[in-house]
Amino acid sequence: MKNSILIPILLCLCQATFAQNSSSLVGQWQAKSSEFGTFYIFDWTIKANQQCTFRATAGSRYTEVQRTWRYAAPHITLLDNGKQAFKGSIEWLSKDQFLLTIIDDGNPQNQGVQRLYIRQQEQVPAKEQGAMPTQISPSGSTCYACYGTGKADCSSCGGAGGYYDRVPYQRYNPTTGYYDTDYRDEWRHCTAMGCDGGKVKCTSCKHRDVPQSATYGPVPAPEGLIGRWKSGGSVYHFQAQVGMEGRHLTIEEGHTKMHGYWVIEDGFLKIRLFLGGDSQWKKYRFGAFDRNNIQLIEEGGYQRLQLQRLKE
Ligand SMILES: [Zn+2]
Ligand SMILES: [Zn+2]
């Protein structure tokens, strides 16, 4: 008898403890669940500006939608262009966990389906102080195909941009009454692919080389750059591991992940991504930098990157 009273009281207390408001929902959430024989991962990013992104992944496929959200405990409603697209009820289990019960998501079969959402650890910029380890930049090797110009002689025309073609033509000789053969050299422009006045893109160094070696101010030492950095919506992971052309790099942008190499030489941070085909090195000069912030300025371009170190 005692127990039957105690339990409802405890349940009430628990609910009161974990009663959460709209701002409690803001963050990144994930639920994993098997529904009707398919295993799903649901990623739900709920933003303070009332927008949210909902992604459902099954195997290697996913769908993603953007919605407006409204929360009036215990109900959450998602709107698509002002029209209700989803309604569910939320039961908070802790400030980092809630159980979502689907009331209406447009599919009658899903009514009553429950998903346990767990708050995902967010990556926050690092705050520790400390000096960035620096070095005087080593210089890269000189490319013997382009000497840093990024352009090499076209193998078809040898850098001349074209060639002379000896063309025979017939000329009537009134003395002999016959036709003589004369020759005239005619200039032909080289039509080899990529040839521009005898120069083609250098493939030996993929534009990694720079025209001249110079003395450079201090640049970050590689160990200062190793780790994860955020730039806008991208996460740069400068890895310590050394590969064929430099250290490994991955850049994550939303759900795409790019791979490549990074190296610090000639006073630049050089990055080459495997974008298919013959992708070239990009060079960035270092602007202001410290342990947790780096400003990069693209050489020969307009791109500026502001990198912020992420806490591991
Ligand atoms: Zn050519
Ligand atoms: Zn070259």
Report how far ligand 2's centroid is from the alpha carbon of 274 (Å): 18
Distances (CA, A) of 271 to 50, 248, 258: 37, 10, 12
Report how far ligand 1's centroid is from the alpha carbon of 159 (Å): 6
Report how far ligand 1's centroid is from the alpha carbon of 277 (Å): 20
pTM of the model: 0.55
39-63: average pLDDT? 87
What is the predicted pLDDT for the residue at 5? 54
What is the predicted pLDDT for the residue at 129? 65
Report how far ligand 1's centroid is from the alpha carbon of 276 (Å): 24
Report how far ligand 1's centroid is from the alpha carbon of 147 (Å): 18
Give all domains of the chain, ordered by start, each with its CATH number: 2-119 (2.40.128.370), 134-142+216-309 (2.40.128), 151-201 (no CATH)
Please determine, for residue 182, whether its predicted confidence score (pLDDT) is greater than 70: yes
What is the predicted pLDDT for the residue at 300? 82
**What is the C-alpha separation between 8 and 10, in angstroms, rounded?**
5
Report how far ligand 2's centroid is from the alpha carbon of 301 (Å): 19
Looking at per-residue pLDDT, the higher value among 270 and 16 belongs to 270
Per-residue pLDDT band at 124 (split at 50, 70, 90) = low
**What is the C-alpha separation between 89 and 83, in angstroms, rounded?**
18
Report how far ligand 2's centroid is from the alpha carbon of 80 (Å): 52
Q: Which ligand is nearest to the CA of 278?
A: 2
**What is the C-alpha separation between 103 and 113, in angstroms, rounded?**
8
117-133: average pLDDT? 74
Please determine, for residue 41, whether its predicted confidence score (pLDDT) is greater than 80: yes
What is the CB neighbour count within 10 angstroms for residue 276? Answer: 6
What is the predicted pLDDT for the residue at 79? 95
Per-residue pLDDT band at 14 (split at 50, 70, 90) = very low
**What is the C-alpha separation between 65 and 52, in angstroms, rounded?**
8
pLDDT by residue (tens digit) across 195-242?
999 999 898 899 999 886 555 678 999 999 999 999 988 999 999 999
What is the predicted pLDDT for the residue at 12? 47
Report how far ligand 1's centroid is from the alpha carbon of 162 (Å): 6
Report how far ligand 1's centroid is from the alpha carbon of 165 (Å): 15
**Which residues are CB-contacts of 6 (< 8 A; sequence separation ≥ 6)?**
none
Per-residue pLDDT band at 4 (split at 50, 70, 90) = low
pLDDT by residue (tens digit) across 56-68?
988 878 788 899 9
**Average pLDDT for the chain:** 87
What is the predicted pLDDT for the residue at 284? 94
At which residue do the structure tokens 């342990």 appear?
291
Q: Which ligand is nearest to the CA of 192?
A: 1
What is the predicted pLDDT for the residue at 123? 61
Please determine, for residue 161, whether its predicted confidence score (pLDDT) is greater than 70: yes
DSSP state of 48: T
Which protein residues have their CB within 5 A of the ion that is ligand 1?
154, 156-157, 190, 192, 195
Report how far ligand 2's centroid is from the alpha carbon of 251 (Å): 25
92-111: average pLDDT? 92
What is the predicted pLDDT for the residue at 214? 55
Peptide bond into 74 cis (omega under 30): yes
Backbone dihedral angles phi then psi of residue 248, each to the nearest 5 degrees: -75, 145
Per-residue pLDDT band at 276 (split at 50, 70, 90) = confident
Backbone dihedral angles phi then psi of residue 86, each to the nearest 5 degrees: -160, 140
- DSSP character string of 182-212: EEEEEEEE--STT-BTTEEE--SSTT---S-
Report how far ligand 2's centroid is from the alpha carbon of 39 (Å): 50
Q: Which ligand is nearest to the CA of 148?
A: 2
Per-residue pLDDT band at 16 (split at 50, 70, 90) = very low
Structural contact between residues 306 and 231, judged by C-beta atoms closer than 8 angstroms? yes
DSSP state of 76: E
Report how far ligand 1's centroid is from the alpha carbon of 240 (Å): 41
Peptide bond into 211 cis (omega under 30): no
Report how far ligand 1's centroid is from the alpha carbon of 194 (Å): 8
Number of residues in the chain: 312
